[in-house]
């Protein structure tokens, strides 16, 4: 199959996120790899995907699951080689599936050659100027240069030991200490990332997911401004924050856009920018990255007014901006949506997870059911859906990983106040038996739960009504039904039920938690759970024609 040259292929795409280390292990070392992905191209094809997005597979010591990159233009030897990458890319393209890679521009790892060179050089040297080094405050420089916090540590600053063995300068890291932030005021940094974009685009990569796209540019003028909290709760909207969402970012992205447009079809990008919805257009403009993840929807409760309001707002914003909206329910940073939706809405999910899921009951069945309904709801919306590996099996978060086996730096870094994101990164169950449930012939780098014996690809493949078959049918149908990016809401006279239609008579109705709801239809196309007599039970989505 050859890929079309349609420059708009991304606007309403179904994209599947692969977390390579946990997808499929080809050589039995317990770590997923590129050959593993290649071996599962038929499976990916059976999902009627338009694209996959690969989380980082670059050389990395895994201080942050691969988001600590040692070398942006290579493959981690544990995961394969550049030849394996080319082979995988060719196999995916052959199956009609495009490929996004993850670009991590805010920080490298501390093992990147640039950072090693910076440590071996003098304060004030060009090597240090690729990162954000500063002298400390206090009598002997023993205090951090500013009050900036980190996502994975109390302070964004770590002090180094200079070559003479004395305590020296401090460097900035908005994430783990193993993830030093690059200095985006340095043109060398900007030029190097252009080189990286070209490197992958020349190899045939179709798109880029841009990691923490809101953080690269900082106000580095002296004295450094105070910003004691990350500030997500109380964001600034004027582009003049200290280290997030600053106006200068868009100069960088305008340059990237020029590079993307050199290719045919143009390369595309999606910003992971955790910014208020009003600021999204700046990232998602056709002059910058083109698309941005919709965090408002990811955080929405399984609730009709939350859903309806967020959808309306998101579509309005995308429209103004010539972009298309994105819909996401799960990713590698978030508690799986089957689990979130199976908890009482008042439960603080992160605290619940920290207590290994023991503080409140999880209604697994209701959660999976709501998750499938939610997925079918977003798949019917105009725009692009990003799914996360394993959600097509209705997987829940793994809540019982022993605390001493947690890999996520958010756990120790935040002083054990959160358990972190390993529970959604457990290697996938492909089979009912075997030492790693078909993930590979060896073990699994994170412990898998015993319920994988019941919930896995082998059990669900070909079984009517299984989550996998519901996804397959929905995705295949969506390809045929998808038309213009328009949506019309319909009154249901039931506040728990939302109904909209798309051009061509494609109707979608969801019942959240209400009584069974009677509806009129000529033809039922698909539903997230069995329905009879044109009656939609709670926790169910139906697609139909009238």
Q: Choose the contact partner of 211 out of ligand GLC, Ca ion, none; CB within 5 to 8 A by kind.
A: ligand GLC
Q: Choose the contact partner of 212 out of ligand GLC, Ca ion, none; CB within 5 to 8 A by kind.
A: ligand GLC
The answer to whether 391 contacts ligand GLC (rule: CB under 6 A) is: no
The answer to whether 333 contacts ligand GLC (rule: CB under 6 A) is: yes
Q: Which one, 32 or 266, has the nearer CB to Ca ion?
A: 32
Which tokens go with 62?
Answer: 């895994």
Q: Are 510 and 497 in contact (CB under 8 A)?
A: yes
Which tokens go with 533?
Answer: 């007599």
The answer to whether 175 contacts ligand GLC (rule: CB under 6 A) is: yes
Which tokens go with 141?
Answer: 């420089």
Q: Which residue is nearest to Ca ion (CB)?
A: 33
Q: Choose the contact partner of 67 out of ligand GLC, Ca ion, none; CB within 5 to 8 A by kind.
A: ligand GLC
Which H or E element spans position 474? helix 467-481
Q: Choose the contact partner of 31 out of Ca ion, ligand GLC, none; CB within 5 to 8 A by kind.
A: Ca ion
Q: Which one, 211 or 422, has the nearer CB to ligand GLC?
A: 211
Q: Which one, 211 or 485, has the nearer CB to ligand GLC?
A: 211
Q: Which one, 29 or 127, has the nearer CB to Ca ion?
A: 29
Evaluated on CA atoms 303, 304, 306, 310, the torsion sign reads positive
* Binding-site size, ligand GLC (CB under 6 A): 9
Among 18, 20, 33, 331, binds Ca ion (CB under 5 A): 33
Evaluated on CA atoms 194, 200, 205, 208, the torsion sign reads negative
Catalytic, out of 211, 391, 397, 422: 211
Over the window 192 to 221, marking each residue x when it contacts ligand GLC by CB under 6 A and - when it does not, the resulting string is -------------------xx---------
**Active-site residue flag, 306:** no
The answer to whether 181 contacts ligand GLC (rule: CB under 6 A) is: no
User: Hey, how many other C-beta atoms are within 10 angstroms of the C-beta on 465?
Assistant: 11
Q: How far is the CB of 153 from ligand GLC (least distance, A)?
A: 12
In sequence order, which residues have a C-beta less than 8 Å from that of residue 300 and are 6 or more positions away?
A: 306, 307, 310
Over the range 99-110, which residues count as b (16 or more CB within 10 Å of their CB) and which as e? Answer: bbbbbbbbbbbb
Percentage helix, strand, coil for the chain under 3-state DSSP, each rounded to 5: 30, 15, 55
Please state, in angstroms and rounded to a whole number, the distance separating the CA atoms of residues 42 and 121: 50
Which H or E element spans position 295? helix 295-298
* Binding-site size, Ca ion (CB under 5 A): 5
| Distance (Å) of CA 140 to CA 104, 118, 169, 218, 378 | 34, 21, 11, 26, 56
Among 104, 292, 371, 380, binds ligand GLC (CB under 6 A): 104
Among 31, 215, 280, 487, binds Ca ion (CB under 5 A): 31
Among 67, 253, 439, 519, binds ligand GLC (CB under 6 A): 67
The answer to whether 25 contacts Ca ion (rule: CB under 5 A) is: yes
The answer to whether 253 contacts ligand GLC (rule: CB under 6 A) is: no
Q: Is residue 331 left, alpha or beta, with left meaning phi > 0 and alpha meaning psi from -120 to 50?
A: beta
**Active-site residue flag, 162:** no
Phi–psi pair at 373, nearest 5 degrees = -65, -45
Please state, in angstroms and rounded to a whole number, the distance separating the CA atoms of residues 367 and 279: 32
Binding to ligand GLC, residues 301-320 (CB under 6 A): none
| Residues classed as catalytic | 211, 262
Contacting positions for Ca ion (CB under 5 A): 25, 27, 29, 31, 33
Contacting positions for ligand GLC (CB under 6 A): 64, 67, 104, 175, 211-212, 272, 332-333
């Amino acid at each position: 199959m050859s890929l079309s040259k349609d420059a708009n292929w991304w606007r309403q795409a179904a994209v599947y996120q692969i977390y390579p280390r946990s997808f499929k292990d080809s050589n039995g070392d317990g770590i997923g790899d590129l050959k593993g992905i290649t071996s599962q191209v038929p499976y990916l094809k059976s999902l009627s995907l338009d694209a996959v997005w690969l989380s980082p597979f670059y050389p990395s010591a895994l201080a942050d699951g691969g988001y600590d990159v040692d070398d942006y233009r290579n493959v981690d030897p544990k995961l394969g080689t550049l030849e394996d990458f080319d082979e995988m890319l060719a196999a995916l393209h052959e199956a009609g599936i495009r490929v996004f890679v993850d670009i991590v521009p805010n920080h490298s790892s501390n093992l990147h050659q640039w950072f090693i060179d910076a440590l071996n050089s003098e304060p004030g040297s060009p090597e240090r100027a690729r990162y954000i080094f500063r002298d400390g405050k206090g009598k002997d420089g023993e205090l951090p240069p500013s009050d900036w916090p980190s996502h994975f540590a109390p302070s964004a600053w770590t002090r180094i030991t200079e070559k003479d063995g004395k305590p020296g300068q401090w460097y900035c890291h908005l994430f783990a200490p193993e993830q030093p932030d690059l200095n985006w005021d340095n043109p060398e940094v900007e030029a190097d990332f252009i080189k990286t974009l070209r490197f992958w685009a020349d190899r045939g990569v179709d798109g880029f997911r841009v990691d923490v796209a809101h953080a690269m540019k900082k106000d580095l003028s002296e004295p450094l401004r105070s910003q004691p909290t990350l500030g997500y709760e109380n964001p600034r909207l004027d582009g003049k924050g200290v280290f997030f969402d600053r106006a200068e970012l868009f100069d960088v992205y305008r340059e990237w856009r020029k590079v993307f447009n050199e290719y045919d079809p143009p390369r595309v990008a999606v910003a992971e920018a955790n910014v208020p919805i009003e600021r999204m257009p700046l990232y998602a403009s056709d002059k910058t990255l083109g698309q941005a993840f919709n965090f408002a929807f990811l955080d929405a409760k399984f609730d009709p007014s939350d859903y309806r309001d967020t959808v309306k707002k998101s579509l309005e914003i995308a429209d103004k901006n010539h972009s298309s909206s994105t819909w996401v329910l799960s990713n590698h940073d978030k508690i799986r949506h089957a689990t979130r939706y199976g908890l009482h809405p008042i439960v603080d999910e992160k605290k619940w997870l920290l207590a290994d899921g023991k503080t409140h009951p999880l209604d697994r069945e209701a959660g999976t059911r709501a998750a499938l309904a939610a997925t079918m709801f977003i798949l019917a919306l105009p725009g692009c859906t990003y799914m996360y590996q394993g959600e097509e099996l209705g997987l829940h978060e793994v809540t019982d990983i022993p605390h001493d086996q947690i890999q996520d730096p958010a756990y120790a870094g935040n002083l054990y106040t959160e358990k972190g994101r390993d529970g959604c990164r457990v290697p996938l169950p492909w089979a009912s038996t075997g030492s790693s449930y078909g993930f590979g012939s060896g073990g699994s780098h994170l412990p898998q739960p015993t319920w994988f014996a019941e919930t896995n690809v082998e059990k669900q493949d070909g079984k009517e009504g299984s989550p996998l078959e519901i996804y397959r049918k929905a995705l295949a149908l969506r390809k045929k039904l998808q038309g213009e990016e328009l949506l019309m809401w319909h009154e249901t006279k039931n506040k728990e039920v939302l109904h909209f239609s798309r051009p061509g008579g494609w109707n979608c109705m969801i019942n959240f938690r209400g009584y069974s709801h009677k509806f009129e239809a000529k033809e039922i196309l698909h539903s997230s759970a069995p329905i009879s007599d044109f009656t939609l039970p709670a926790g169910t989505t139906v697609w139909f024609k009238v």
